Structure 1
């Protein structure tokens, strides 16, 4: 259904070298889907024109068929997302993971491809895979005798659901595939950020329409999808602005170079005095310029005044100064750190990067971009 950037819930296996994650909501929604399909089995059989014996409609058989159909649905979603991931790999874009969750699946790409038209090619790959699956299941169903009701139902359902999955994902709304195709086409003749804003506006209008349709039909699932599209479109705009603003910047461009440090042989008593004087509660531990660790107030609990910093320090989160600023921001968010230490290729401490530094850079670059978008007369 789209691509996003977030921390995985659970990584049980890899498929074609790509980690596959099952979100907690998937574990809850799978039995729910099985129940819904099983309870609506007569309607599905009528839709698919399957003549089934009466015992097939009785529980627990109907719910077992619902479970098989639900598993087939999510496997189809997984193959759909693999279509995105493998196409992205062909363009040199790696996939962090594929996540199956409440509303389907997402392929979490390491970055949004910026080459003209590439995003559209990657986006269309998923619906094309679903259409191929629909055709395959349709052909297989044709080879199954009409009196084999179970095979007729399962293959017919998977053909129907894959076609529905393809058509739904082609709706022109971010983060659905159709929205990404739309943005990629708009970006052929206007700036990428402006193309994103246009696509986001259309996405919110479509989400509002889907929400109204869901309310009119009393369809809770459609209302949930509308809410997801609306919120995800807003997040897409923020993510694109973030990518554009930090584009081309490295950690060395944003870090603070003046860092107060402590030597490894400093005693706890001396460190506490330093903390009181400088009003800091954490310091990098450095010897001859080389970063050894990090010491903070919480690391001193239970230590005697004579204890050396070397005995209580811990490994710090640190980045190379050549790291892309956007990658640093993602790493800090994933690890839950508000600041990271910065080292050169030799491992020497050269600075510190905080979220404040990143926020300041965002504000300054955003102001520069606004000026470039609205040029005015310059003073003589």
Structure 2
């Protein structure tokens, strides 16, 4: 999802944390906006003005601390989702901070009825708890204007974060709760379609409100909700269509490979004759990498292909077809080498997956669910 994310050199509760490029842009922007509007914030939060807070770079330092506190709160919010998902046996691949907050990328969503609602609702509850903690600290700590501002701001922003996430729109937590509750009495795919439809209506309302009050950020959020809701619906269709299908069911077992010493011109000729656009590069039974037509662009025709081959992306034959499709999308690869016990047993292309997807989707319209194996 976030191809330009910078992974931090530590993990939280065993979960990698990354910063998207958009976060690196929005953090100083938030710091500037908060700092430049500090007198307004002091008035809204009921903080007694202190002229020292408005001198020199102090407002922008406070703005930076407030922005860092906001995004730290977002990480804790996402950790709440991750810890709860772990209780259902679902791991979190990564937590990413970006322009509009944070995203906990779960490896899967548990199919236990109501589990998605439990995982989703924990996020707003964590934010509400943080708001309460900051409010309590504000009443306990000395009434220094700087501390009063920071604690008051973080209490308010966490309360806002909790309430906003409770909106019944995918991919917000409220939308996931709505889908999970709908799925208690109807198929998951139908529940997703209904929730996505409601999400689009809410996105349209948010966008209209943003235009009326000239709030660009609200318009941006509305656009994100609309696009993400459509993506959720598509993902549900993919999950349903490919459920139960394994990589070994779709992979090509008779794999044509090439040696690393083969020249670029010879490989191009072979591609033309065999109508293959990619090959595993194999030496002494060991897969070194993949070489595709894209890797050969601008190459010296006499150069050996090992100089142009790409990174090896492998997958187990027992992995789900949906996982393979996700891997291809994340890595921007069109094929995966299938390895079992370190040996190549097949290759899976995006064409294989799309063909299976088309057949399964057509089959769902003409056969009962029990008719598929």
Structure 2 length-normalised TM: 0.88
Counterparts in 2 of 1:258 and 1:214: CA distance versus 1, 3 Å: same
Query: Which region of structure 1 is more displaced relative to structure 2, 179-188 or 349-358?
Result: 349-358
Question: For 2:104 and 2:321, how far apart are their aligned partners in 1?
Answer: 23
Contact 2:70 2:157 in 1 (8 A): yes
Among 112, 115, 120, the alignment partner of 2:117 is 120
Contact 1:8 1:21 in 2 (8 A): no
Contact 1:33 1:67 in 2 (8 A): yes
Which one has a bigger Cα radius of gyration? 1
Unaligned runs of 5+ in 1: 375-380
> Superposition pairs for residues 100-119 of structure 1, below 5 Å?
100-119=97-116
* Match in the other structure for 2:345: 350
Contact 2:264 2:301 in 1 (8 A): no
Unaligned runs of 5+ in 2: none
* Match in the other structure for 2:334: 338
- C-alpha distance after superposition, 1:57-86 (max 9, x if no partner): 344222221111111111111111111111
Among 343, 354, 361, the alignment partner of 2:356 is 361
Say whether residues 1:178 and 2:174 are aligned partners.
Answer: yes
Counterparts in 2 of 1:219 and 1:370: CA distance versus 1, 3 Å: same
* Match in the other structure for 1:56: 53
Query: Which region of structure 1 is more displaced relative to structure 2, 105-114 or 318-327?
Result: 318-327
Say whether residues 1:25 and 2:19 are aligned partners.
Answer: no
Counterparts in 2 of 1:139 and 1:343: CA distance versus 1, 3 Å: closer
Contact 1:284 1:291 in 2 (8 A): no
Question: For 1:61 and 1:310, how far apart are their aligned partners in 2?
Answer: 56
Runs of 4+ in 1 over 6 A off after TM superposition: 263-273, 309-315
Structure 1 length-normalised TM: 0.86
Contact 2:90 2:110 in 1 (8 A): yes
Counterparts in 2 of 1:143 and 1:369: CA distance versus 1, 3 Å: same
- C-alpha distance after superposition, 1:111-154 (max 9, x if no partner): 122211111111111111111111111111111344x2111111
1:256, CA displacement in angstroms?
2.5
Among 215, 221, 228, the alignment partner of 1:219 is 215
Aligned length, in residue pairs: 365
What is the SS of the residue equivalent to 1:14? strand
Contact 1:255 1:352 in 2 (8 A): yes
What is the SS of the residue equivalent to 1:62? helix
* Match in the other structure for 2:94: 97
What is the SS of the residue equivalent to 1:150? helix
Counterparts in 2 of 1:138 and 1:331: CA distance versus 1, 3 Å: same
Higher relative contact order (CA 8 A, sep 6+): 1
Question: For 1:346 and 1:63, how far apart are their aligned partners in 2?
Answer: 55
Question: For 1:60 and 1:270, how far apart are their aligned partners in 2?
Answer: 64
Counterparts in 2 of 1:23 and 1:282: CA distance versus 1, 3 Å: closer
What is the SS of the residue equivalent to 1:96? strand
Counterparts in 2 of 1:50 and 1:276: CA distance versus 1, 3 Å: closer
* Match in the other structure for 1:77: 74
